[in-house]
Amino acid sequence: MAKGMLQSNSYRHTILSSGVRTSLKRMGHHLRPKTPREFNKLWRLALQAVPLALIFCFLLSAAPAQDWVKTGTSLGVEKVRLAVPDFKPSTTDPQNPALLKTFNDTLWNDLDVSGVVELVSKSFYPLQVPGQPPEVNFLAWNAPPPNAAMLAFGNLGVASGRLTVQGWLYDVKNTQSPQVLGKQYADNASDAAARIMAHKFADEIIFRLGGGIAGIAESQIFFVSDRTGHKEIWAMDYDGSNQHQLTHLGTISLSPRISPDGSRIAFSSLTKTGWEIMMYSLDLNRVVSFPHMGGTNLSPAWSGDGTKLSFSSSRGGESEIYVSDASGGGLHRLTTAKGPDVSPVWNRKTNSQIAFVSGRTGLPQIYTMEADGTNQQRMTDQGYAVSPGWAPNGQFLAFAWVRKYGPGEPGSSDIYLMDIASKQWVQLTHDGGRNDFPSWSPDGRHIVFQSNRSGNLEIWSMLADGTKVQQLTFTGRNTQPNWSWK
């Protein structure tokens, strides 16, 4: 996701860049459509002509039906084939089996969803897997069937209540000096410690194999859950583990937004005097004071340097976008248009632009403006577009969009990605239901969002190309996820 270079022959509604690119390879060059309408025409043609249809079927057989446009963070780039045999016990402590399972599952999942490596299926592994460097049999790993380029292995053991993990990353094609990484972790033995060690080791691997971008395995996601009967602010690890309640206000709390340094959560809560911006300190584990503004105050957002907050307030009558400093002082208004203005989000890369939602022309649309309120630009051209999330690299907006909106066109709400410079967009979710509130991972490779596709409102994550979709919550209704900044 470093440099976004748009290619001239791009598919019209698809973002092509070195970071997020589209592949229509499966369809063959002579069938490449230029617009969705042309594609539909082609499709119909194909169905009419049986031989052609058979070719289509053959070409598409490897992919699910909806997967006719493939976007990805690294398509066309060969991913590193990484083999990760289960870590081996290094002691005979009875706690080892349970902790090994936690460690191995967590490490595998972290690497699997990272989007930067291709994990070699365990069924290709040799019977003897290494737990120590001398046990590595290079030929058993670097030749087919595993044909791995990299091997992550190690051991785990508990001794006198202390958990120790040793892990290595080996370039198995380089038998002379194979070691890329060697790490040792130690802590009091617990399930949580095993999980954290797996996250740390995964992040080390991802940092080295993923172009020097830090991994996200230790990041957190904040969200709203009603599982206590009230909507409160909750937190969890990025993979859905360790879910715990933060606020106990017993009212309705919404829109948690974690500060860039991870110390505070700004959110909106229904107080005796109305909706106000509230502040929760993760250092003090309690709500700390923040001035009441009056009117309805919603959807706070942090600037990338953590010095400013933007939010929606109706203190002046209409819902407009305001900016204050991080303590609520220096409040000033940015927008004046009729119709609700809500859900601001900063460009954290530059801190000089804000995207937001406005109903000034009817159904809500996504807009951008300078951080002083000038140069307001409409980004979406139709439908119902809400909940912008600005990618960490500053180039993309993720948002929720019901493109075809109106009577007889119920349309599902899906997550879309838009290249801000060109306004070209691509649809990321295709699985139905109402998908909303996309929020970017710190590395810009993942998006977390809420969806009712399972029948209940839950939180899901995916790679920013729409693949590796994972459900993270399973209890109660869980909404408005917000990913930590690191």
Interface positions, 155-194, toward other proteins (CB under 8 A): none
End-to-end Cα separation, the chain, in angstroms: 16
Residue 379 touching other proteins (CB under 8 A): no
Question: Looking at 148-156, 204-212, 384-392, 417-425, which segment touches other proteins (CB under 8 A)?
Answer: 384-392
Nearer to other proteins, 226 or 370 (CB): 226
Q: State the minimum distance, in angstroms, from the CB of residue 449 to other proteins.
A: 12
Whether the CB-CB separation of 91 and 159 falls below 8 Å is answered with: yes
Question: Looking at 56-64, 73-81, 235-243, 295-303, which segment touches other proteins (CB under 8 A)?
Answer: 295-303
Total residues found in the chain within this entry: 486
Question: Looking at 43-51, 59-67, 357-365, 422-430, which segment touches other proteins (CB under 8 A)?
Answer: 357-365
Nearer to other proteins, 53 or 379 (CB): 379
Question: In sequence order, what are the beta bridge partners of 255?
Answer: none
Handedness of CA 121, 126, 132, 136 (dihedral sign): negative
Interface positions, 191-250, toward other proteins (CB under 8 A): 231
Which among 376, 375, 359, 337 has a CA at the least distance from the CA of 367? Answer: 376
**List 14, 441, 480, 482, residue binding other proteins (CB under 8 A):** 480
How many CB atoms lie under 10 A from the CB of residue 104? 18
Burial letters 139-167, b for 16+ CB under 10 A, else e: ebbbeeebebbbbbbbbbbbeeeebbbbb
CA 409 to chain centre: 29
309: helix, strand or coil: strand
Give the integer Cα–Cα distance in Å for 102 and 426: 36
**List 362, 374, 375, 408, residue binding other proteins (CB under 8 A):** 362
Residue 484 touching other proteins (CB under 8 A): no
Q: What is the largest CA-CA distance in the chain?
A: 72
Give the integer Cα–Cα distance in Å for 32 and 30: 6
Nearer to other proteins, 268 or 461 (CB): 268
**List 59, 254, 337, 379, residue binding other proteins (CB under 8 A):** 254
Nearer to other proteins, 109 or 297 (CB): 297
Q: State the minimum distance, in angstroms, from the CB of residue 98 to other proteins.
A: 39
Question: Looking at 45-53, 317-325, 438-446, 469-477, which segment touches other proteins (CB under 8 A)?
Answer: 317-325
Residue 64 touching other proteins (CB under 8 A): no
Is 431 buried (19+), middle (13-18) or exposed (0-12) by CB count in 10 A? middle
Residue 357 touching other proteins (CB under 8 A): yes
CA 393 to chain centre: 13
Residue 389 touching other proteins (CB under 8 A): no
**List 296, 422, 427, 470, residue binding other proteins (CB under 8 A):** 296
* DSSP H helical ranges for 137-190: 138-142
Residues in contact with other proteins by the rule CB under 8 A: 231, 252, 254-255, 268, 270, 274-275, 295-296, 298-299, 312, 314, 317-319, 339-343, 357, 359, 362-364, 384, 386-387, 400, 436-437, 479-480
